[in-house]
Structure 1
Amino acid sequence: MASFFGMRGIRFLLALTMALGGLLVVTAPARAAVDTNLVNFDAAGNQVIRFDTDGNAVDAHDGAIERFGGTYYLYGTAYDCGYQWQNNDTFCGFKVYSSPDLAHWTDRGLVAPPRSCQYCFRPHVVYDKATRRYVMWVNDQGAADKFRVYTSRTPTGPFTEQPVPDLPDQTHCTADLAVFVDDDGTAYLTCSNAGWHIAVIQLTADYLRAAGPYDITGVTRVEAPSIFKRNGTYYLTMSDPNCGYCTGTGTSYLTAKSPLGPWRGRDAWTAEDGALTASGGLYGLSQQGEDWRDYTFSFDVAPLPTTSGTSAQAGFSVRMNQDDHGYLFLLTGSGPAKNGQLSVLRRAGATTASHVVKLDKPIVAGEWHHVAVTAAGATLTTSIDGVQVDAYTDATYATGKVGFREWNGANLESARFDNVTVTAADGRTLLSDDFSGDFAKWVVPTSGVKFTDDSCGGQPAQVATLPSRHGAPTYLYFSDLWDFHTNEALANYYWQPLSFGSDGAIQPLTCANSRVHLDPGHPGHQRPIRALDQTSGVTGFRATCDIAGTTRREQDFTAGRTGRLASLAVTVFKDGTETGRVLRTPPSDPLDVEIVDRGTGRTVWSASVPASTIGWSARNLTVRPGIRVRRGAEYAVRLGSSTTTGCYGVAFNDQNPYPGGTSAISTDGGAGFTAEPARDLKFQTSVER
Structure 2
Amino acid sequence: MGYSLSMGRLGTHLLRLYLLIAALGLGMSAVALLGAGATPVNSDASVPIPTGAIHISGIDAHDGDLKQINGTYYLYGTSYGCGFQWGVPSPYCGVRIYTSPDLTTWTPTGFAFDASTSAWQRWCGGSGWPEPGGCFEPRVVAIDGGFTMWLDVPRLNRIAVLHGESPTGPFVFRAWSSVAGGWSEGVYYDAVGEGDLWLAVANHHMDISLQSRNGSYTIKSGSLGQPGIEGPGLFRNGPEWVMTVSYGACGYCFGTQMAYFTSRDPLVSWQFGGVVRSDACGGQPNGVVTLNGQTYEWLDIWNGHQQESQTAAPILLSPLAFNPDGTLQPLSCGY
Task: Give the TM-score band, short-chain normalised.
Answer: 0.7 to 0.9
| Counterpart pick for 2:150 among 127, 137, 140 | 137
Deviation string for 1:537-589 (max 9, x for gaps)?
xxxxxxxxxxxxxxxxxxxxxxxxxxxxxxxxxxxxxxxxxxxxxxxxxxxxx
Would you say the 8 A contact 1:188–1:259 is kept in 2? no
| Counterpart pick for 1:124 among 139, 150, 155 | 139
Deviation string for 1:316-369 (max 9, x for gaps)?
xxxxxxxxxxxxxxxxxxxxxxxxxxxxxxxxxxxxxxxxxxxxxxxxxxxxxx
Shift in CA distance, 482/158, structure 1 to aligned 2, threshold 3 Å: same
Q: Aligned partner of 1:138: which letter?
A: L
Q: List runs of 5+ in structure 1 lacking aligned partners.
A: 1-29, 41-48, 51-56, 203-210, 267-448, 468-472, 514-689
In the TM superposition, what is the alpha-carbon distance from 1:257 to its structure 2 partner? 1.6
Would you say the 8 A contact 2:233–2:245 is kept in 1? yes
1:146 aligns with 2:158: yes
Would you say the 8 A contact 2:140–2:147 is kept in 1? yes
The aligned runs of 1:263-662 (5 Å cut-off) are 263-266=270-273, 449-467=274-292, 473-485=293-305, 486-513=308-335
Question: Which secondary structure does the structure 2 equivalent of 1:461 belong to?
Answer: strand
Please name the residue that 1:196 is paired with.
206
In the TM superposition, what is the alpha-carbon distance from 1:466 to its structure 2 partner? 1.8
Question: Which secondary structure does the structure 2 equivalent of 1:489 belong to?
Answer: coil
Question: Which secondary structure does the structure 1 equivalent of 2:282 belong to?
Answer: coil
Please name the residue that 1:113 is paired with.
114
In the TM superposition, what is the alpha-carbon distance from 1:142 to its structure 2 partner? 4.1
Please name the residue that 1:234 is paired with.
241
In the TM superposition, what is the alpha-carbon distance from 1:72 to its structure 2 partner? 2.0
In the TM superposition, what is the alpha-carbon distance from 1:492 to its structure 2 partner? 1.5
Shift in CA distance, 459/502, structure 1 to aligned 2, threshold 3 Å: same
Tell me the distance in 2 between the aligned counterparts of 1:222 and 1:491: 22
Higher strand share: 1
Tell me the distance in 1 between the aligned counterparts of 2:107 and 2:268: 38
Question: Which secondary structure does the structure 1 equivalent of 2:271 belong to?
Answer: coil
| Counterpart pick for 1:178 among 186, 197, 200 | 186
Question: Which secondary structure does the structure 2 equivalent of 1:58 belong to?
Answer: coil
Tell me the distance in 1 between the aligned counterparts of 2:246 and 2:49: 31
Shift in CA distance, 456/165, structure 1 to aligned 2, threshold 3 Å: same
Tell me the distance in 1 between the aligned counterparts of 2:72 and 2:311: 25
Would you say the 8 A contact 1:498–1:509 is kept in 2? yes
Shift in CA distance, 463/164, structure 1 to aligned 2, threshold 3 Å: closer
Shift in CA distance, 142/219, structure 1 to aligned 2, threshold 3 Å: closer
1:166 aligns with 2:171: no
Q: Aligned partner of 1:511: which letter?
A: C
In the TM superposition, what is the alpha-carbon distance from 1:74 to its structure 2 partner? 1.2
Tell me the distance in 2 between the aligned counterparts of 1:36 and 1:80: 31
Shift in CA distance, 112/200, structure 1 to aligned 2, threshold 3 Å: same
Would you say the 8 A contact 1:481–1:491 is kept in 2? yes
Shift in CA distance, 213/481, structure 1 to aligned 2, threshold 3 Å: same
Shift in CA distance, 139/34, structure 1 to aligned 2, threshold 3 Å: closer
Tell me the distance in 2 between the aligned counterparts of 1:258 and 1:156: 35
Shift in CA distance, 154/32, structure 1 to aligned 2, threshold 3 Å: closer
Please name the residue that 2:6 is paired with.
none
Shift in CA distance, 200/154, structure 1 to aligned 2, threshold 3 Å: same
Shift in CA distance, 69/234, structure 1 to aligned 2, threshold 3 Å: farther
Tell me the distance in 1 between the aligned counterparts of 2:110 and 2:295: 26
Tell me the distance in 2 between the aligned counterparts of 1:186 and 1:228: 13
Deviation string for 1:41-79 (max 9, x for gaps)?
xxxxxxxx72xxxxxx21110112222343222111001
Deviation string for 1:192-248 (max 9, x for gaps)?
01221110111xxxxxxxx46111014341011110112121111110011110021
Q: Aligned partner of 1:491: which letter?
A: A
**Higher gyration radius (CA):** 1
In the TM superposition, what is the alpha-carbon distance from 1:112 to its structure 2 partner? 2.4
1:215 aligns with 2:217: yes
Question: Which secondary structure does the structure 2 equivalent of 1:91 belong to?
Answer: coil
Tell me the distance in 2 between the aligned counterparts of 1:462 and 1:187: 16
Tell me the distance in 2 between the aligned counterparts of 1:100 and 1:224: 27
Tell me the distance in 2 between the aligned counterparts of 1:212 and 1:233: 18
| Counterpart pick for 2:167 among 138, 155, 162 | 155
Would you say the 8 A contact 1:226–1:237 is kept in 2? yes
Tell me the distance in 2 between the aligned counterparts of 1:149 and 1:67: 21
Tell me the distance in 2 between the aligned counterparts of 1:71 and 1:258: 34
Q: Normalising to structure 2: TM-score of the pair? A: 0.74
Question: Which secondary structure does the structure 1 equivalent of 2:142 belong to?
Answer: strand
Would you say the 8 A contact 1:128–1:185 is kept in 2? no
Out of 221-230 and 484-493, give the one that drifted further: 484-493
Question: Which secondary structure does the structure 2 equivalent of 1:490 belong to?
Answer: coil
Q: Aligned partner of 2:256: which letter?
A: T
Question: Which secondary structure does the structure 1 equivalent of 2:177 belong to?
Answer: coil
Please name the residue that 1:74 is paired with.
75
1:254 aligns with 2:261: yes
Shift in CA distance, 104/259, structure 1 to aligned 2, threshold 3 Å: farther
In the TM superposition, what is the alpha-carbon distance from 1:261 to its structure 2 partner? 4.2
Question: Which secondary structure does the structure 2 equivalent of 1:456 belong to?
Answer: helix
Shift in CA distance, 110/505, structure 1 to aligned 2, threshold 3 Å: same
Identity of aligned residues (%): 33
Would you say the 8 A contact 1:480–1:494 is kept in 2? yes
Question: Which secondary structure does the structure 2 equivalent of 1:163 belong to?
Answer: strand
Deviation string for 1:504-531 (max 9, x for gaps)?
2111113224xxxxxxxxxxxxxxxxxx
Higher helix share: 2
Tell me the distance in 1 between the aligned counterparts of 2:231 and 2:248: 10
Tell me the distance in 1 between the aligned counterparts of 2:265 and 2:109: 35
Would you say the 8 A contact 1:236–1:254 is kept in 2? yes
Q: Normalising to structure 1: TM-score of the pair? A: 0.37
Deviation string for 1:591-635 (max 9, x for gaps)?
xxxxxxxxxxxxxxxxxxxxxxxxxxxxxxxxxxxxxxxxxxxxx
Would you say the 8 A contact 1:36–1:103 is kept in 2? no
Shift in CA distance, 503/160, structure 1 to aligned 2, threshold 3 Å: same
Tell me the distance in 1 between the aligned counterparts of 2:312 and 2:107: 18
C-alpha RMSD of matched pairs (Å)? 2.1
Question: Which secondary structure does the structure 1 equivalent of 2:311 belong to?
Answer: helix
In the TM superposition, what is the alpha-carbon distance from 1:38 to its structure 2 partner? 4.9
Q: Aligned partner of 1:137: which letter?
A: W
Question: Which secondary structure does the structure 2 equivalent of 1:161 belong to?
Answer: strand
Shift in CA distance, 223/37, structure 1 to aligned 2, threshold 3 Å: closer
Tell me the distance in 1 between the aligned counterparts of 2:257 and 2:67: 23
Please name the residue that 2:7 is paired with.
none
